[in-house]
Amino acid sequence: MAITEAFLQTWIESRTRFSNLLKDLKQEDLPKKLIHTNNTSGYLIRHIGDVELLFAKNVFGALDLKVLAKTVALKHDTGEWTNLQELLDYQQEAFKNLKVIIEKQTDEDWQQTITTKEFGTKTKAEAIGRIISHTAYHAGQLSLTLKYGQTVDQN
Residue 39: pLDDT above 80? Answer: yes
Q: For position 116, what pLDDT does the model report?
A: 87
Residue 117 pLDDT class (50, 70, 90 cuts): confident
How far apart, in whole angstroms, are the C-alpha atoms of residue 148 and residue 54? 30
The set of residues, in sequence order, having a beta carbon less than 8 Å from that of 107 and lying 6+ positions away, is: 2, 3, 4
Q: Looking at domain 3-150, which CATH architecture does it have?
A: Up-down Bundle (1.20)
Burial tier of 1 (Cβ tally within 10 Å: 0-12, 13-18, 19+): exposed
Whether 155 has a pLDDT exceeding 50, the answer reads no
Whole-model pTM: value is 0.94
List CB contacts of 130: < 8 A, sequence separation 6 or more: 55, 119, 122
Pairing of strands 120-123, 113-116: antiparallel
